[in-house]
Amino acid sequence: MTQKGNLFKGQQKKSVPVNRHGKQVPIRKGKVFKKPSKKTEEMEINKEVQKFIDSANETKAAAIASKEGARLSLIKAPVDAATTSKKSKSLPKAKK
């Protein structure tokens, strides 16, 4: 048996640091989503199909909720949401 650890291939155990007094364990941040560099037609088609499925699910949920007596309605964001938010910040001048 060899005593050189780097000769073995495969997954290695994490080595415990020699001195970790007062040092925190690094927090794992998870996987970061990266956008694909190339958009394919298949991705665009999948996006459209997903939008259709989501809208169908939302309408079904709203219909079921309204049958039970609750009032659930779908609200769509305005097309020019950025411009309306800027306009709402400025107060209209009061007429005297």
Q: What is the pLDDT of residues 3-31, one digit of tens each?
A: 666 666 777 777 777 787 888 878 878 88
Q: What is the pLDDT of residue 28?
A: 78
Question: With 90 as the cut, is the pLDDT of residue 52 above it?
Answer: yes
| Res 5: pLDDT | 65
Where b means 16+ CB within 10 Å and e means fewer, 28-46 reads eeeeeeeeeeeeeeeeeee
Q: Give tens-digit pLDDT for 54-78.
A: 999 998 988 888 777 766 666 777 7
Q: Compute the average pLDDT of residues 33-42.
A: 81
